[in-house]
Amino acid sequence: MNSPSSILLSRSDTSMKSIDNRIKAAFDKYRATATLLDEFVRTRQHAQELVILVCSRLDALANLAMTQKRSQRERFVSFLHEYSGRRAELERVLLPNMYFDIFVRFATLPGTIQTPGRLCSYDLMRDSAFLNFIIESGVPLTAEDVTKWLNRFSVWLQRKYRTTVTQSKSKPHHDNVDSITRYLKTSSQSYRKGTYNQAVAALTPILNGFRLADVLYRDYRSKSIHDFSFNPDKEFFAEPGLFVATRFHAWDSTRFLEVCVSANWLVDLYRKTIERYELSLLIRKKLPIDLWTELCDTSKEFAFLDDSTIPAERALKIRVER
């Protein structure tokens, strides 16, 4: 006859096995998505749908796991950093992408600074990072002074990195934030007694905005879901990993470059990320609150709840009419 302690242990073992099975069952739909994505890659069809599926599935898991992050971008980026196994790659700045974006800002400066000391924006959501950068740079707020600074920045950047077609192919297309910042600081300190030192320091948010994970969120996740014009390159299905595409623009003769992600790279990122996240749940047996609510008996299986995912209490200011 079993003792009470052996009965308790047996029930615990059963419960542990059960939670493993429940977690695996919950991830079956993500594995099914991976199978569908493989079919898209094999047939080289439905590029936009592939990007939407990858990003929306990762978005859903990011919302589940990263409850302490405020913005959707923070959740998405943090989730990939934590579970993809590719953090170093995802944190690299895509310099051709950044260079072209700043070139567009440079070309439209007469509209941005129409009067010295005053900034104008037609889309504050899109322009805020660049406007804050100009304000924090310490450069006088005139079109002429900002133009001089951006010209100097362009010279420094292209001296080491490849951002346009005519540059040497031996130059790198991406690098980490610290390395880029150190290089620009060294360049600035030897130029006119460091007149642009403050401007270089102000570049950090711009550099952060063009890290691979942030580009994935903004230019793939958000554009594929929200923008009508999203359209991957024809190399999207052909390339095995990241690739560099040439960009032509009718209003400028420069042949710009853009670092892009391929379908193969995206699907591999998706598969590895969901596998690593599922494994972390199986090992820890601590579930984020939304998944715990779905999979567990909320009246007694508290041992499987990850307390850190419970939303923080907030005091509400309520005015009661008399």
Provide the pLDDT for residue 318: 75
Mean pLDDT of all residues in the chain?
92
How far CA 202 is from CA of 130, 134, 197, in Å, comes to 10, 8, 9
Among 24-33, 159-168, 245-254, the minimum mean pLDDT is found in 245-254
Give yes or no for a contact between 262 and 239, defined as CB atoms under 8 angstroms apart: yes
Top pLDDT among 294 and 14 is at: 294
Provide the pLDDT for residue 314: 67
Among 34-48, 196-210, 218-232, the minimum mean pLDDT is found in 218-232
Q: How far apart are CA 185 and CA 13, in angstroms?
A: 59
Residue 64: is its pLDDT beyond 70?
yes
Look at residue 285 and give its three-state secondary structure. Answer: coil
Among 26-30, 84-88, 307-311, the minimum mean pLDDT is found in 307-311
pLDDT > 90 in the chain, percent? 81
Confidence of residue 258 (pLDDT cuts 50, 70, 90): very high
Top pLDDT among 287 and 308 is at: 287
Reported as a single tens digit per residue, the pLDDT across 153-191 is: 999 999 999 999 999 999 999 999 999 999 999 999 999
Q: How far apart are CA 104 and CA 202, in angstroms?
A: 19
Instruction: Give pTM, 2 decimals.
Output: 0.89
Top pLDDT among 209 and 6 is at: 209
292: nearest Cα among 82, 123, 67: 67
Residue 261: is its pLDDT beyond 80?
yes
Provide the pLDDT for residue 241: 97
Q: What would the mean pLDDT of 276-289 be, rounded to a whole number?
A: 97
Q: How far apart are CA 210 and CA 296, in angstroms?
A: 40
Provide the pLDDT for residue 322: 64
Give yes or no for a contact between 196 and 146, defined as CB atoms under 8 angstroms apart: no
Provide the pLDDT for residue 139: 97
pLDDT > 70 in the chain, percent? 94
Confidence of residue 4 (pLDDT cuts 50, 70, 90): very low
Residue 5: is its pLDDT beyond 60?
no
Provide the pLDDT for residue 10: 42
Query: Tokens in use for 81?
Result: 């950093």
Provide the pLDDT for residue 93: 98
Among 113-122, 155-164, 207-216, 271-280, the minimum mean pLDDT is found in 113-122
